[in-house]
Chain A
Amino acid sequence: MRQALDDIKVIDLTWYISGPYCTKLLADYGAEVIKIEKPGEGDPARKFPPFLNDEPHPEKSGLFLHLNTNKKSITLNLKSEEGKKIFLRLVEGVDLVVENFSPGVMGRLGLEYPSLEKVNPRLGMVSISNFGQTGPYREFKASELVLNAMATAMKSCGSKEREPLKMGGRVVQYQAGAMAATAAMVGILASKMQGIGQYIDVAISETQLGSIDRRGPLLVASQYTGEVEGRIEVGGSQWGACPDGIYPCKDGYCDVIGGAMWWPSIFKMMGEPEALADPRYGSWEWQTDPERKAEILAVFLPWARERTKEEVAEAASKARQAAAPVYTTADLLTNPHLAARGYFVEAEHPVAGKLKYPGPPCWPEETPWELRRAAPLLGEHNEQIYSQLGYSKQEIGLLRAYGAI
């Protein structure tokens, strides 16, 4: 055995981000993931930027290429009777189905869990949706921003004088995908260990509400105190220490954490400057006194500005001070630590060529993450998968002519 999941088969009816990230995690650790796409169009993510050289092309979307590594693609029209029949035959032979259509779509196709379970009683099925399969919002539209608003700590994120601020990019949808992959593993284990097939309803909103940082804790604190948390003053340090936060340096930004506990290592990091030799600078009184703060910053700010973010981080590391360079994506690709770990991995794609991709989120020593192949072309595995089901070359041609595949 090379990979932990290399005996697991998954039918993947997902599109956009949350579902594909879920099945990517399974595929990257060995599962055979067969992605079913709409004939002619495929996953809408194929239409979204970034594109290689900014040229829109269904096989050159960085979003799609990233989210669909190690998967196989077949096209299938689930609205045709022929397509449904083929789908049910595929379901017979797999362990798991994952989908993230709007709630109700699978039901309208006649392919909801009870119908699938009839052909495969040990089947696990994961459905990912914005607000869940039940309840008054089940049909509601959402976006990354709306999901941030309704399910993260967005209300307390940002500055008091400004609007609440969402997290970056589309991390909520990705994170829901990671949680769904964990749920999928639970489904696989229940099926394999106990022989129980079941349906798992993953609401993106609920995967965020109970999340550890920091929606869940704030919900509990609100129950405990009858209060809600607000946003901070602009430029504020969470606890008023100095220096504490993100500061400009020679080539960008660095972050140094502060407070009484950290002062000795900050002092050491700056090379023990005489002006700040009085240990009382580390006391809570001096750390929060505006005059003393100005004195600290008068030394710290020029010190940081003379150094690159890497030099600040290096000095901090030597002094056992918690700190970090604030990275752009360009910094990530050249970072020596990630390089030493072999994090970014290259793969060849027939249309997009050779590209680097983000690597393993975890490294099981015996059963590694592996980039076996780049994302599939639309329908690339039609012949392989359909002939495995017993269709002849001639029949596959007919299915194509009927618009079923």
Chain B
Amino acid sequence: MPKLPLEGIRVIDATVVWAGPYASSILADMGAEVIRVESTNFAPYGGRGLILRPPESTLKTGGLLMAGYPNREAGARPWNRNPYFNHHARNKLSMTAKLNTPKGLEIFKRLAEVSDIVIDNNACGAQERLGLGYKGLQEVNPKIIYVGMPGLGNKGIWKERIGLGRHLEEIAGHTLLRKYPDLEPGEMSDIFHCDATAGAIGAFAALLGLYYRQRTGKGQFIDISQIETVIPQLGEAVMDYVMNQRVRESLGNRDEWAAPCGVYRCRGEDRWVAITVFNDKEWQGFCRALGNPSWTKEEKFSTQLSRWKNQDEMDRLIESWTINKEDYEVMYLLQKEGVAAGPVMDEFQCFQDPQLRERGYFEQVTHVDCGTHLYPGMHWKMSRTPACIRKPACRLGEDNEYVYKQVLKFSDEEYEGLEKEGHIGMDYHPSILVRGAAKM
């Protein structure tokens, strides 16, 4: 079998929370040896859990991102059982070193000497202050490719500002374009597209760097501001302002290209189907699927524009049809007539979905600390170098022996010494309960 495309490429994963880890996750899937450099004496914000050792009360009642551990139990090492970490950390390796000591910094630099790419999404300047930014690492490895992706970028007057995913979404202009049109913008739960956009561009940037190095032998620094990865994705709204000074507002689930376009209640609790009709031909198919009820013949629904204008009334009529049907049933009825439709899927439905099953999207993985489960699989399929989850999410420090001895060429004696000095380990210092540094 041919090698994976990025086999032989080593990546230092100096990332936190979501955007950075997603970028390195994509590189790991494609065969790169991605090594997370972690520390048993410091738990970064949003690293291996929002709360490093979640208390019983949180585990019992918290939302799934906070408390979605296997069986809602923290286990002996909760940091190896966190669902979002275990999603992105597949195919990655984990080593530990105390980065607040000169020895730890030396270890990091030694790794940089034999690595190709660094991905860093810490706050702007954080790695630099440790001497582990591009300048510091370039001294030990002039060919290094450094992707620096703090929220607002590495230059510009706001570079030091701090914010989370939701703040970046708001600055990029996405939040106001996705709210309920009739409610205040705060009234929706959190889903931060910017982590995904920045993650994809982070991986893309690293590969651009790699290709340039392939051609020239040279490394380089690549600056990413997460908001600048979102803005191009709002193309129509941005261009409407540029061209017509029109400030677009949220359409909710509607679409200026189509009507009807919405989600409609189906039989069962909190079941919905999404339907979009783009043109007259599809409208005729839609009417056939409904059995041509008389309301569909009314003048006010006869053209695309009149349907767009009379959506409120039309939506109520459509829902009176969907409400007695299963979500999947509506999908099949409408798709048979060439109309875009599909259930608003929850997680259970995803795992059962015939399309995803047929394509083998989910992969079964056994993780030492979590047991056997299905996980989301590869983001795309390649014909000659197929990828998969080769290795379950890395446990803290699980690859220390390999990295220290095989990659960094430390001797057995040196390794034992580093173990005694506390660089090497698989458990966080007992004083760290939530996050942050150990109290020694």
Q: Could you tell me the distance in whole angstroms from the C-beta of A296 to the nearest C-beta in chain B?
A: 16
The reply on B21 being an interface residue by CB < 8 A is: yes
Q: Are A220 and B375 in contact (CB under 8 A)?
A: yes
The interface residues of chain B lying within 8 Å CB-to-CB of A283 are: none
Q: Does B429 contact A (CB under 8 A)?
A: no
Residues of A within 8 A of B215 (CB): 1, 4, 7
Indicate with 1 or 0, residue by residue over A131-149, a CB within 8 angstroms of chain B CB atoms: 1101111001111111011
Pick from B2, B159, B353, B373: contact of A223, CB under 8 Å: B373
B5 touches A190 (CB 8 A): yes
**B274's closest neighbor in chain A, by CB?**
A149
Is B243 within 8 A of A323, CB to CB?
no
Contact B242 A362, beta carbon cutoff 8 Å: no
Task: Point out the residue from B174, B193, B383 that lies within 8 Å of A200, measured CB to CB.
Answer: B383
- Verify if B86 is at the interface (C-beta below 8 Å from A): yes
Contacts of B380 in A (CB 8 A): 179-180, 183, 200-203, 206-207
* Chain A residues whose CB sits within 8 angstroms of the CB of B262 once the complex forms: 145, 163
Given contacts A148-B274, A175-B233, A223-B375, contact A320 B162 (CB under 8 A): yes
Check A322–B376 contact: CB distance below 8 A: no
Contact indicator B355/A157 (Cβ below 8 Å):
no
Smallest CB gap from B185: residue in A? A246
- B110: CB under 8 A from chain A? no
Q: How far is the CA of A4 from the CA of B147 in the complex (A)?
A: 15
- A313 (CB) vs chain B CBs: closest residue: B161
Report how far A143 CA is from B341 CA in the complex, Å: 8
Distance in angstroms between the alpha carbons of A202 and B382 in the assembled complex:
9
Q: Judging by beta carbons under 8 Å apart, are A367 and B186 in contact?
A: no
**Chain B contacts of A155 at CB under 8 A?**
270, 272, 344-346
Assuming the contacts A66-B238, A212-B19, A220-B375, asked whether A327 and B173 have C-beta atoms less than 8 A apart, the reply is yes
Query: Which residue on B lies nearest to A113, using beta carbons?
Result: B383
From B19, B230, B273, B358, A134 is in contact (CB under 8 Å) with B358
- In the complex, whether A56 has a CB less than 8 A from a CB of chain B is no
Whether A170 and B236, one on each chain, are in contact in the complex, defined by CB atoms closer than 8 angstroms, is yes
Of the A-B pairs whose beta carbons lie under 8 Å apart in the complex, a sample of 28, sorted by A's number, is A66-B235, A132-B359, A135-B359, A136-B355, A137-B355, A145-B255, A163-B253, A164-B272, A168-B178, A169-B178, A178-B229, A197-B384, A202-B379, A212-B84, A216-B376, A217-B64, A217-B84, A218-B68, A220-B86, A221-B83, A221-B84, A225-B64, A317-B162, A322-B162, A328-B176, A357-B239, A363-B153, A367-B212
- Give a binary string over B257-300; 1 marks a CB under 8 Å from any A CB, 0 the rest: 11001110100001011111010001000000000000000000
Asked if B72 contacts A189 (CB within 8 A), the reply is: no
CB distance from A143 to the nearest CB of B (A): 3
A-B contacts at CB below 8 angstroms, number? 543
Enumerate chain A residues within 8 angstroms of B71, measured Cβ to Cβ. 224-225
Task: Say yes or no: A213 contacts B348, CB within 8 Å.
Answer: no
A327 touches B263 (CB 8 A): no
Closest B residue to A309 by beta carbon equals B170
Whether A182 pairs with B26 at a CB distance below 8 angstroms is yes
- Report the bound CA distance from A186 to B378 in whole Å: 13
Residues of B within 8 A of A357 (CB): 239, 242
CB distance from B94 to the nearest CB of A (A): 17
Partner of B170, one of A183, A199, A255, A361: A255
Contact bitstring A180-215, B, C-beta under 8 A = 1, else 0: 111101111110111011111111011111111111
CB of A166 within 8 Å of the partner chain: yes
Closest beta carbon of chain A to B342's beta carbon, Å: 4
Determine whether A387 belongs to the interface, using a CB cutoff of 8 Å to chain B.
Answer: no
Q: Bits for B178-212, please: 1 = Cβ < 8 Å to A, else 0.
A: 11100111111111111111011111110111111
Judge if B65 is at the interface, Cβ distance under 8 Å.
yes
Task: Give B260 Cβ to nearest chain A Cβ, in Å.
Answer: 10
* Chain A neighbourhood of B102, CB < 8 A: none
Given A145-B276, A364-B222; A150-B345 close (CB under 8 Å): yes
Looking at the complex, which of B332-340, B399-407, B417-425 is the stretch in contact with chain A?
B332-340
Highest count of chain B CB atoms <10 Å: which of A188, A214, A321: A214
Interface of chain A residues 212 through 267 with chain B (CB within 8 A): 212-225, 227-232, 234-236, 238-239, 245-248, 253, 255, 257
Q: Chain A nearest CB: distance from B128 CB in Å?
A: 15
Query: Chain A residue with minimal CB distance to B377?
Result: A210
Question: Most chain-B CB neighbours within 10 Å: which of A136, A142, A210, A217?
Answer: A210
A224 CA to B374 CA, complexed, in Å = 9
Please indicate the chain B residues that have their CB under 8 angstroms from the CB of A48 in the complex: 236, 257
Stretch at the interface among A72-80, A269-277, A285-293, A337-345: A337-345
**Beta-carbon contact of A235 and B186 below 8 Å:** yes
A10 within 8 A of B: no
- Give the nearest-CB partner of A157 in chain B: B191
Asked whether any CB of chain B lies closer than 8 Å to the CB of A356, the reply is yes
Can you list the 6 inter-chain pairs with the closest CB atoms, starting with the nearest?
A: A221-B68, A62-B239, A168-B177, A143-B276, A168-B178, A222-B347
Bound-state CA distance A363–B335 (Å) is 43
Measured in the bound complex, the distance between the Cα atoms of B233 and A332 in whole Å is 14
